[in-house]
A and B are shown apart, each in its own frame.
Chain A
């Protein structure tokens, strides 16, 4: 485990009666962009604050570079934080803000000046050193906060929803800049966000949290395509949840019954007992629409349905299709060709659905 830079071992943190973080263990690897993703109150910010040293866990240990730091104050840990409200010192200039951490390390003034200048150039704010934070735009303040945190070259950079206060356009542009900066620096980033799109586009790995628990840790693709449970599948992207009953299961594939008529073969990670209730999960964009039934071998048997509703969104068309037994399924059909006959479908017309066998998965938890 030499490449683990931050380790959390069975961390539990309680505020009064509220269990904010419940027995969380994480291994964050050297140089990765790791996101803690979850709704507000899920414990992601508390977890980050414990790594920074602003909160102490009641149970568990935190390691940075193999050293236990659980009870060290923030000023004795080689991690730096970008705060959600930036927390720039209003009575200091931009250069004084960025240089504060180096000054605390008692570095010579010449070196401080040089490193502040270099870092401000890195975040594309040269010539801004003499300004006060209050004279900068939100986006510029965000860059100063970033510069102040990276100038000390910490082992780990902690980011607490740093883009939340920016407007949409800037937020999207900053995602790529942050990712690029992380690539250039090679520093481990731990990024807290409630925005699943943000986490998906930037992260190497994501830990999805809810109610103080880590529900799943994985790459964006793993978390999206192999969601561990109902909450993860629901929180990340759009998903169809179809109630079903298990007929048989061998640990890899399962046969399930949807309603009274539709019998399907789906992927299955865990073993499930026969006759157990479950949920079939399938992403809308993974379903193919057909005008006629037919089998090309790769896909499941065609499931007939009736177009219930359709919305044309430009890049794709969003269909709601009603299957037998009043089961409704959302399908996203990409508008690849001009004059696509599927786009001309109207309400009440019959269609057939198919998908790759492994795209539909059984979840029993």
Chain B
């Protein structure tokens, strides 16, 4: 290619000037990051925004979908089961968080003492979390069975309680049963997180507190709890989001029943899919977002306060 005797402002020389070493490194960096960004956009951002959009349309499977504004939400608000889903989701999240925290903390405190077979307990206590979710919950379902289920067998055979209890089929026991199974499954995450946080607290803080005159409870308030607070906040956030989004624990045990006693958002969305009305189903999922957002804001602002 001829290079004409032109002044220095030719395109090629301009490009050469622009592509300095620093720029080359920058472009290379972008190129390396590009695949991941593409993945995130494709697998996370796009489905998210698409679902968000669909929630405001009347789309059905195979059909287009015209914008209908808030009609889906208005319809949902009229269904009794929607309000039940809101209530139940909040109850499950709160109850499981509190119980998992209590159990996780107690076990973590226990394991940091010099009890025999510490290492064994540490791994053993992780098992409920390590097994596949559906195995865990199907097993619980069998345990809860009225006829021949483990729990009822224990109650009746040992004479603790003479009658069979339909754990999953009665409104009064359905939610507690789901909560119990969910807590059993999820406490190891809390346990291991709190344990790690506990072990990072410097020992001499406890000694300083002892010298200052603090008893065990005061030491807990002054040293232990503040030391794990950050981790507890993050764990709460993650666990709440996971529990609110969890499908299998309710589905495998009660499918949201009996009646609407244990109906939660993910199960409701699934049922919505069965009617093929994608717009409504998406609206159910989107309806969860404000609640999740509030939760995230509360926790992150609590964490922020910590840092100041």
Q: Do A and B bind each other?
A: no
